[in-house]
Amino acid sequence: MAKNVTLKINHIPVTVPEGTTILQAARKAHVEIPTLCYLKDVACVGSCRMCLVEATGARGLVAACVYPVAEGMEVLTNTEKCRKSRKLSLELLLSKHKKKCLSCERNHNCELQRLSAEYNADEDKYAEEEEEFTHPIDLSAPYVVRDRDKCINCMRCVAACNKQSVGAIGAIGRGYNVHIASAFEMPLAASVCVGCGQCIVACPVGALKERTTVDEVWAALQDPSKKVVFFTAPSVRATLGEAFGLPVGTNVEGKMVAAIRRLGNCEVFNMDVTADLTIMEEASELINRIKTGGVMPMFTSCCPGWVKFVEQKHPEMIPHLSTCKSPQEMFGGLLKTYYCEKNGIAPENLYVVSVIPCTAKKSECKREEMGGEVDAAITTRELARMIKTAGLQFSELPNEAFDDPFATATGGGTIFGATGGVMEAALRTAAKMMDGAFEVVDFPEVRGTAPIKEATYNVAGVQVRVAVASGLSNAEEIIRGVQSGERHYDFVEIMACPGGCVNGGGQPTLPDSMRNSLELKDLRAKALYKSDKKNGYRRSSDSPVIETIYGEYFGAPNSHKAHEVLHTHYTADKRL
C-alpha cells in the first residue's frame, strides 16, 4: 500500500497517496487547474502547458498533470506568473487555430474558447495570415469530419486512437509544421480508422466532428410523400439529458420521445425491441454452435466498430463472429419488411432514422450487405441539436411513451447500452432456452466497467465460459489469448468503445472539468440497470412484442425468413 503524503494547494492542506500528481491532488482540495492536452484515462503528456503551477522544490513552473506531489510541498496554482504563462500559451495556440467560432459545432462548448475567455486572451496577438488556413477539410469518411485548421495539436485524438489499438492518426512533420493526419497524408476513409469516434469526444475543440445527416432528416420530415419513423438506441435515454444541462445519468426516455415527436410528423419506436430480437437470434445461434460443434468461441457482432476492426486487422476471426445484424440493422430490416407489409406501405416511402450513440453506425447503415434499410443514423449530439433548433424547452416537455407496435421491450434490451449488457441479456435467454427451469436473471459477474470480465456458468449440465471486453485494445488482448490457446471461452462480447455504448463516440461532449472528475461510464450505465430492474420483463424471450413478431412473421429464431432479414455476413477488408 502506497504511503500518504501531505502538501498544501493554495494554502489548503491535502493528504494523498504517494505518486499522485499535483492535478489530482488539487481536485481533492476542490481547486480546478486548467488543462487542454490532459484527459483522464486517455492522455497525460503535459504538452499544452495550460496546467503550469508553482511548486516548492521545482525549478520554474511545472506541469501539474504529470508532476508528482511530495511531502511538505506547497503549490500555488493562480499566481501572476501562472496566469501570464497560460495566457501566452492560449494566444500562441489561437495563432494557428481557424477561429470560425459562430459556425463551429463546438461553439459555447469548446475548451479553447472557454479558457480564452477566462484568461482574456487576445485571439489576434500572434495572428497568422488568413491564407495559412487553407487545408482542405477531410470529408472522405461517412462518419467523421476532420478540419486540420482547427486542430491545436493537443494529441488527445491520437492518444484515444492509439488506446484503441487502431492508430489511424498520428503526428506528422516537425516543429512549427507538426500536424495530425493519417499515414502518408491519406484521407481518413483510406486509413485503418474503424469509425468508433473516440477521437471526437476526446477533441477539446472543433477539429473533429461527426458527418451529419441532420439536413436530410429535416427534409424527410417535410416531405409529404414520406412516412418517417425514428427509433432510439438503449443508451441515448441515459445521455441525451446532458446536452440540456441535466445531471449525468439522468434517464430522459419520456422527454426524449416527446421531443422527437415534436420535430415533425413521425412515429417514435424503441430500439430495445430489436435488442431483444438480437438476443433471440444470437442466443439461438450460440446454442446451435454448442450443440453442433460450430466455430467457437462465438463473438457478438452488434458493434460495427468492432466488426470493422476484425475485418481489417483479424480477418481470420470472421468465422467466430455471430451472423446476427446489429439492433439498428435488424430494426431497419424489420421496418422495411414486416412493418411495411402489415401497414400497406411501400418500403421506398418509409424513411427510417436511427438515433445512436455511435459514429460507426453511420458507416454500418451504408454497408452493401445491409441493403440501405436505415436511411439516416444520427448521433445523440445531432438529435440534441435538432431539438434545440426546433426551439423545444427540453426540461419542460412531458414524459411520453414510445409508439406501438414497437414500444414495449425488456430490461435485457435496455442494458445493451452498457458493457456486459449484451452478454447478460444473452445469458438470461440462452440459459432459459437450454434449461426451462433456469430462473436467474442477474449476472453481476459481467457487469461493471472493468476492461475485461470473465465468468463460467453451469447451464443444463453445460459449462458456458464467457468473457466481456470493451475498448479495442482489450479486444486485441482477448483475440491474442484465444489464438494462443491461453484463453478458453464459448461466448465473448466486445464493444469498441471503453464502457460500451454509454461512452460512444456520438455521445454529448462534456467539459473537461466533468470528464476528468466524474465516472461518466458508471453513472450512465447505472441509469440503464435501474431501468432494467424496474421493468416487468427482464428476459428477451418474455417480451410480448417479440412473441408477436415471431408469431406473425418469422416463425422461430434462426428460421429461414429470420436469416433473410436479421442476419448478414462479413468479409475481409480487401484494401489491407
From the number of C-beta atoms within 10 Å of its C-beta (0-12, 13-18, 19+), residue 486 rates as: exposed
Sequence length of the chain is: 576
Strand 170-172 and strand 179-181: the pairing is: antiparallel
What phi-psi label fits residue 65: left (phi over 0), alpha (psi between -120 and 50 degrees) or beta? Answer: alpha
Q: Which of 369, 439, 552, 564 is catalytic?
A: 369
From the number of C-beta atoms within 10 Å of its C-beta (0-12, 13-18, 19+), residue 32 rates as: middle
Q: Cα dist. 387→23, 259, 443, 532, 569 in Å?
A: 37, 7, 37, 27, 36
DSSP 8-state secondary structure symbol assigned to residue 92: H
Say how far apart CA 130 and CA 149 lie, in whole Å: 11
Residue 333 has which C-alpha cell? 430490416
Residue 553 in contact with residue 425, Cβ under 8 Å?
no
Other beta carbons within 10 Å of 118: 13
The reply to whether 100 belongs to the active site is no
Strands (E), 275-424: 298-299, 350-356, 376-379
Please give the order of strands across the beta sheet that includes 376-379: 266-270, 227-232, 350-356, 376-379
Q: Which of 48, 151, 203, 302 is catalytic?
A: 302
Say how far apart CA 33 and CA 31 lie, in whole Å: 6
The reply to whether 361 belongs to the active site is yes
Q: Which of 285, 373, 382, 424 is catalytic?
A: 285
Q: Which of 501, 521, 540, 543 is catalytic?
A: 501
Q: Which of 111, 242, 282, 329 is catalytic?
A: 282
Residue 497 in contact with residue 198, Cβ under 8 Å?
yes
H or E element in which residue 146 lies: strand 144-146
The reply to whether 101 belongs to the active site is no
The reply to whether 285 belongs to the active site is yes
The reply to whether 281 belongs to the active site is no
Q: Which of 111, 364, 373, 493 is catalytic?
A: 364
Phi then psi for residue 170, to 5 deg, are: -170, 180
Q: Which of 150, 163, 361, 362 is catalytic?
A: 361
Residue 384 has which C-alpha cell? 440534441
Strand 144-146 and strand 208-210: the pairing is: antiparallel
Task: Report cis status (omega within 30 of 0) of the bond before 297.
Answer: yes
Residue 171 has which C-alpha cell? 503526428
SS3 (DSSP) at 474: helix
DSSP 323-361: -BPPHHHHHHHHIIIIIHHHHT--GGGEEEEEEES-SHH
Residues 6+ apart with CB under 8 A from 518: 248
Say how far apart CA 131 and CA 45 lie, in whole Å: 31
Residue 104 has which C-alpha cell? 463551429
Q: Which of 284, 322, 354, 470 is catalytic?
A: 322
The reply to whether 341 belongs to the active site is no
The reply to whether 316 belongs to the active site is no
The reply to whether 302 belongs to the active site is yes
What positions carry a catalytic annotation?
282, 285, 302, 322, 361, 364, 369, 501
